[in-house]
C-alpha cells in the first residue's frame, strides 16, 4: 500500500499543483455568481452559463482531438478536475452530517 502511495506522490509534478490551484480559483470566483443567480431565481442566466460551459468544453475537446496537443497536460487537467469533484462531494456530505447533528441537539 505504501509503495503505491509513494509511486503516486512521485508522479505528481508542478503541473498538477498549478492546475489544481487554478481550478480552486475559478471555483471561488464562479461560486458567488451562481449563488446570486440561484437566490434571484434567474434561470435564464444559469441556463446561459451552463450552455456556454458545455459549448466551451465541446469546442476545446474538438481542438484537442484535431491538433497535436500534449496529452499529458490534458490528463493532468482531468485528474485535477476529478480530484476536486471528490473533495466537493466529501465536503457536501460532511456539511450535511454536521447540520443533522446540530438539528438533533
Number of residues that make up the chain: 105
DSSP assignments along 60-100, one per residue: HHHHHHHS---HHHHHHHHHHHHHHHHHHHHHHHHHHHHHH
The three-class DSSP label of residue 13 is: coil
* Domain ranges for the chain: 2-42+71-104
Residue range 56-96, pLDDT digits in tens? 777 777 666 666 556 666 677 778 888 888 898 898 889 88
Give the chain's mean pLDDT.
Answer: 78
Burial of 76 (0-12, 13-18, 19+ CB in 10 A): buried
Amino acid at each position: 500500500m505504501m509503495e503505491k502511495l509513494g509511486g503516486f506522490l512521485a508522479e505528481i509534478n508542478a503541473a498538477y499543483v498549478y492546475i489544481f490551484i487554478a481550478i480552486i480559483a475559478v471555483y471561488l470566483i464562479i461560486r458567488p455568481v451562481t449563488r446570486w443567480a440561484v437566490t434571484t431565481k434567474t434561470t435564464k442566466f444559469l441556463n446561459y452559463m451552463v450552455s456556454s460551459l458545455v459549448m466551451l468544453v465541446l469546442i476545446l475537446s474538438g481542438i484537442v482531438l484535431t491538433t497535436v496537443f500534449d496529452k499529458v497536460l490534458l490528463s493532468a487537467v482531468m485528474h485535477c478536475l476529478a480530484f476536486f469533484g471528490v473533495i466537493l462531494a466529501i465536503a457536501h456530505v460532511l456539511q450535511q452530517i454536521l447540520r443533522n447533528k446540530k438539528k438533533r441537539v
